[in-house]
Amino acid sequence: MDNYREVELLPAKGVGASGTETIDIAIDEPLTALYVYFYGINGAATADEVPPERCIDKIEIVDGGQVYWSTDGPEAVAAAVYETGKWPAHWYQETKDLDFHIHIPLLFGRYLGDEEFAFSPSRLLNPQLKVTWTRNALHTATGYQLGVRAKAMQGVSAPSKALMVRNIRTYTATIAGIEPTDLPIDLDYRKLYVHAYAQRGYWQGVVTHFKLDCDVGKLIAFDMSAATLLAMIMENFPQVEVSHNMCLDDGVMKDTWLGTNLDAAVNSGNPDVFVNAWAQSHGAVWQWSANNDGASQNDEGVNARFFGFCPHHVMAYEFGRSQDPASWFKASQYGQVRLQMTGGTVGGSASILLQRPTVLP
């Protein structure tokens, strides 16, 4: 590889309160990553629990009717965290009238600069990136900005495969019973993602058990509880830190966007106010904010850091050895691969996504 080239596919521009932006990916070199930038401004009230990516309904890479990448904003953030071990570049801000942003990477290789797995737009007829968003009422109606940049590799022949993440199914999670989903078998699996979310809830209350059954019992790839899956995530992926500029309310819960919180640290700029947040291995933390007399203080601005696992309540199961394509799950060896997920006690929503080495024509 000669070197990298940074390309502004869409210089940051103001966009409407809601809509879809379609960007042509007119680049000859292979891309190791695309970055979606989303910016906004809070309205006249505290913007609790509205990080920018939760306004992004869908990120897609398409070529005509063929969809290569399909996630929402939180799922794209989670996929990036599982690849890099850290939260994407961001500025989360809940204080009224102030701005916020995030740069969401779409990563096409096992690492930046992977010459074997990268997105080669030249192999497609009309590759496009589509970003769909919906305004949250706590944001200003005219403040959103969208931008897209790419990291291109020069001096590299166009790879025929890229690691793509696609949503296979999204459904409303029931509070009992097993929900079966037949997964596609045309490509290998590198990672399986499950996005199980209930507001201020715990993802283990949405899905309690996972089973991957191939050809009705010929191979059971896994059959495990949510607690076991969490233990595997904690064994195989690094603990994540995410920073916020939050506004604490005394004695209530707030989501941190880590599905499993292990610790929290908050600091107020007001020397006359005492603040704290308690993580209880849950999808949210309890907040405390009081003055010297013990009176509750609400909308108290703090710097906050949270530590844990399962970014945006997304779980990951990694097949084989992360860097070795020969060890990834060979779904094509089976006539049926069925994921069975058992509903928990709180309802919510569940999405199933796969990361696969996707063949480009």
- Reported as a single tens digit per residue, the pLDDT across 69-92 is 999 999 999 999 999 999 999 999
The helices-and-strands tally (H runs, E runs) of the chain is 2, 23
Cα-Cα-Cα-Cα dihedral sign, residues 20, 26, 32, 35: negative
Confidence of residue 100 (pLDDT cuts 50, 70, 90): very high
- Reported as a single tens digit per residue, the pLDDT across 120-140 is 999 999 999 999 999 999 999
pLDDT (average), residues 190-200: 95
Alpha-carbon span 44 to 117, nearest angstrom: 46
What pLDDT, on the 0 to 100 scale, is given for residue 259?
A: 96
Lowest mean pLDDT: which of 72-81, 276-285, 312-321, 335-344? 276-285
The two three-digit tokens of residue 288, written as one number: 């405390």
Which domains, ranges and CATH numbers included, belong to the chain? 3-159 (2.70.9.10), 166-361 (2.60.120.730)
| Residue 199 clears pLDDT 90, i.e. is over it | no
What pLDDT, on the 0 to 100 scale, is given for residue 205?
A: 93
Alpha-carbon span 209 to 198, nearest angstrom: 16
189 close to 331: Cβ distance less than 8 angstroms:
yes
What pLDDT, on the 0 to 100 scale, is given for residue 174?
A: 85
pLDDT (average), residues 11-40: 98
What pLDDT, on the 0 to 100 scale, is given for residue 209?
A: 97
pLDDT (average), residues 223-251: 97
pLDDT (average), residues 351-359: 98
Lowest mean pLDDT: which of 90-94, 172-176, 184-188? 172-176
pLDDT (average), residues 147-172: 97
Lowest mean pLDDT: which of 56-70, 111-125, 274-288? 274-288
pLDDT (average), residues 64-70: 97
Task: Give the H or E element holding residue 308.
Answer: strand 300-311
The amino acid that residue 180 corresponds to is P
pLDDT (average), residues 306-311: 97
Confidence of residue 282 (pLDDT cuts 50, 70, 90): confident
What pLDDT, on the 0 to 100 scale, is given for residue 280?
A: 78
pLDDT (average), residues 226-236: 98
- Reported as a single tens digit per residue, the pLDDT across 200-211 is 889 999 999 999
What pLDDT, on the 0 to 100 scale, is given for residue 281?
A: 79
CA distances in angstroms from 149 to 24, 120, 154, 345, listed in the order given: 12, 15, 16, 42
What pLDDT, on the 0 to 100 scale, is given for residue 334?
A: 98
What pLDDT, on the 0 to 100 scale, is given for residue 118?
A: 98
Q: Which of 333, 193, 199 is nearest to 253 (CA)?
A: 199
What does the mean pLDDT of the chain come to? Answer: 96
- Reported as a single tens digit per residue, the pLDDT across 29-62 is 999 999 999 999 999 999 999 999 999 999 999 9
Percent of the chain with pLDDT over 70: 100
Alpha-carbon span 150 to 121, nearest angstrom: 12
Q: What residues form DSSP beta bridges with 224?
A: 210
- What is the DSSP annotation of 172-238? EPPSSSEEEEEEP-SS-BSEEEEEEE-TTS-GGGTEEEEEEEETTTTEEEEEEEHHHHHHHHHHHS-
What pLDDT, on the 0 to 100 scale, is given for residue 80?
A: 98
What pLDDT, on the 0 to 100 scale, is given for residue 344?
A: 93
- If you compute the radius of gyration of the chain from its CA atoms, what whole number of angstroms results? 21
Lowest mean pLDDT: which of 159-173, 224-238, 277-291? 277-291
Q: Which long-range contacts (CB under 8 A, 24 or more apart) does 123-126 make?
A: 123/158, 123/160, 123/360, 123/361, 124/63, 124/360, 124/361, 125/63, 125/64, 126/24, 126/63, 126/64
